[in-house]
Amino acid sequence: MPRDTRDVADVTTDPASSATGKTAVLYRMALPNHLCPAGQKARWLLERKGYEVDDRLFRARSEVDAFKAQYDVPTTPQVWIEGKRVGGYDALRQELTDYDPTATTYKPVIYLFAVAATTALALSIGFLGAITWQTLGWFISVSMILLGMQKLSNIESFTTMFLNYDLLARKWVPYAYVYPWVETGAGVLMTGMLLTPFAAPAALFIATVGAISVFKAVYIDRRELKCACVGGNSNVPLGFVSLSENLMMMGMAIVMLAKMFT
């Protein structure tokens, strides 16, 4: 049976020779003041994939330092499977799943719009007792809030990515910092149907500039860029989703302005 060492990491046994078949060797920190989260995730992933884990725990910082020097690795955890060292948790995740940190994906946008849609449905059913055109309005305004918060969570990364394509931001950099605040604030006001004379024009302005910028970058200049719509650290490609975000804001703002004059 693979050994589950609970007191001290076994650094005398060659991990490559022990990592055979469905047995994996995992070195991770379990110090008195630090239980390594990446190590815990690595063990969970290995067990989920059917491996028995020879779990070798470091109980002192000196053991960690000696291990890193011995195997010339920068960090722990470190995993061996099938006779070879895979690396840390991220490397293990790439080895055992289809995870690719560089791959483009629409998942962040899908998740965000799904939350916005269910929130809009909850508001409609809870306050109106039915699904109406207001449900669509809430979906758009809640999406604006969530998208704005994603941008504000790391505004420096957002602005760097935003400056790649937004026409106004490239002329006047402070606009890149203002944009997520306007989007979030307009979304909040639109959700509560408050201060429409301020919220609707603000949303219409940033959405129009955004739509023109995205259309030019993607469909005229044919540039392949990442979208800053869900923040600056995403791998969402700039294109239809980004354009749709702006068009939805434009539509919502136009409808609200039209209602003011009818």
Mean pLDDT of the region 36-54: 97
Q: Are strands 34-35 and 23-31 parallel, antiparallel or unpaired?
A: antiparallel
Among 3.60.15.10, 3.90.320.10, 3.30.1330.10, 3.40.30.10, what is the CATH number of 15-96?
A: 3.40.30.10
- Check residue 237 and report its DSSP letter: B
Mean pLDDT of the region 241-259: 91
Q: pLDDT at residue 10 above 70?
A: no
Q: pLDDT at residue 93 above 60?
A: yes
Among the residue ranges 115-119, 195-199, 257-261, the one predicted with the least confidence is: 257-261
The fraction of the chain above a pLDDT of 70, given in percent, is 95
Q: pLDDT at residue 152 above 60?
A: yes
Mean pLDDT of the region 94-106: 88
Residues β-bridged to residue 78: 27
Contacts of 97-102 with C-beta under 8 Å, sequence gap 24+, read 97/45, 101/235, 102/235
What gap in Å lies between CA 180 and CA 197, rounded to an integer? 19
**Residues found in the chain:** 262
Q: What is the pLDDT of residue 23?
A: 96
Provide the residue ranges of all domains of the chain, joining segments of one domain with +: 15-96, 107-260
What gap in Å lies between CA 229 and CA 238, rounded to an integer? 8
Q: What is the pLDDT of residue 242?
A: 86
User: What single-letter amino acid sits at 15?
Assistant: P
Mean pLDDT of the region 106-111: 90
How many CB atoms are located within 10 Å of the residue 54 CB? 22
pLDDT, one tens digit per residue, over 192-227 is 999 999 999 999 999 999 999 999 999 999 999 988
Dmax over CA atoms of the chain, in Å, equals 81
Q: pLDDT at residue 158 above 60?
A: yes
pLDDT, one tens digit per residue, over 59-92 is 999 999 999 999 999 999 999 999 999 999 999 9
DSSP codes joined into one string, 135-170: HHHHHHHHHHHHHHHHHHHTHHHHHHHHTTT-HHHH
What gap in Å lies between CA 82 and CA 17, rounded to an integer? 9
What gap in Å lies between CA 222 and CA 18, rounded to an integer? 52
- Residue 139 banded pLDDT, cuts 50, 70, 90: very high
Q: What is the pLDDT of residue 2?
A: 43
Q: pLDDT at residue 5 above 90?
A: no
